[in-house]
Amino acid sequence: MKAKNKTLRAAVLLCVCLIGIVALILISMQKPGRPRNGLGKSFEYDLSEFTRTDPHLLKWAETARIGLTLAEPRALAIGSDAALYVAGDNAVVVYDTDGRQRGSIDVQAAAACLAVDPEGTLYLGIRDHVEVYDSGGKWMAAWRSLGAKAELTSIAADTGFVYAADAGNGVVVCYDKRGRETNRIGGPDPTDKAGRFVIPSPYFDVAAVGNDTVWVVNPGRRELILFSALGRRLVHWGKTAMSIDGFSGCCNPTHIAYRANGSLVTSEKGLARVKVLGAAGELRAVVAGPESFGTETVVMDLAVDSRDRIFVLDPDEKAVRIFSAKSEPKEKRERAEGAAPKGRR
């Protein structure tokens, strides 16, 4: 029996040696620089062409930056009184939009998202529920929990409603200002594929428009949908593409903000970029491309102030970066307005 075991071990050892020799021969036959998977360069995952932004599309420029003292800044919002609120750690720090700190609000737990309504009331999303503070930073209420699965990732507010995006349950919960639930948008109904949100990771954003309507990101389908507060779909669009006019990856855009002219600002992870899109989804401009951000930049919450400046939360830089529209040359402006340039009348 021992002799047989020795013979078997010797045979196995010989087979292993032969396989190793064959593998070395095959590797040595490959041409220098050729991928060892044998698929050729056409199968390499090269993102370099998408990390450089066409300068003609960059119609915004960074004009200011607010340094933050928060260790983990997570969300921002701008109030009608031109106050900038930044949530992180266990606090909300308040600045004016030129960067001067006004004060801070201590909160019991870190807020993942926040919103300010036109009256100055502050709404914080703290995992499974909403907490409310008045314009002076005084705690007012904690609304009821949305359950163990809840994970609030975005809040928006207008004069009539508060909209809370719950990525855990896959719904947008609509509240009145007293915290009473009035409706849910989306849900797990398997028969309503058009009304379901696909949320592969905790990025699920909303932006209030006014007139009881709200933009909602359907991140897994890379689309944006305009809903009424009653849940009726009014508009929807989106393009899945690596190119600058589309959204790529498992779940983009990660954040959105509404501008007074009806266009939307979007931010993306993976290929970190901020863009301005029209109400029908057409690309209007690039605010900042991948070359403007670190390779690990993910969370880029957004806000727009009354001067139409775009505020971008950059957690890697521990800063709020402020972008303003570039001024067009006077001749180009006159042409766009239908007037003949001077000297050519």
- pTM of the predicted protein model: 0.81
Range of the domain at 306: 49-329
> What pLDDT is recorded for position 327?
83
- C-alpha separations of 258 from 306, 309, 343 in Å: 11, 12, 40
Residue 164 lies in a domain: yes
Residue 28 lies in a domain: no
Is the four-CA dihedral 321, 324, 329, 333 of positive or negative sign? positive
Per-residue pLDDT tens over the stretch 179-216: 999 999 997 655 555 558 999 999 999 999 999 999 99
Residue 24 lies in a domain: no
Q: Which amino acid, one-letter code, is at 135? A: S
3-state class (DSSP) for residue 41:
helix
Low-confidence ranges of the chain (pLDDT < 70): 1-48, 188-195, 328-345
- 20's tokens: 């190793």
Residue 29 lies in a domain: no
Residue 274 lies in a domain: yes
For 15, half-sphere exposure in the C-beta direction (CA atoms, 13 angstrom radius) is: 6
Residue 231 lies in a domain: yes
What CATH number is given to the structural domain containing 249?
A: 2.120.10.30
Residue 245 lies in a domain: yes
Which residues lie closer than 8 Å to 100 by C-beta, 6 or more apart? none
Per-residue pLDDT tens over the stretch 42-87: 434 456 677 789 999 999 999 999 999 999 999 999 998 899 999 9
Structural domain count of the chain: 1
For 259, half-sphere exposure in the C-beta direction (CA atoms, 13 angstrom radius) is: 19
CA dist 157 and 174 (Å) reads: 10
CA dist 41 and 38 (Å) reads: 9
Which residues lie closer than 8 Å to 180 by C-beta, 6 or more apart? none
Residue 143 lies in a domain: yes
CA dist 65 and 17 (Å) reads: 62
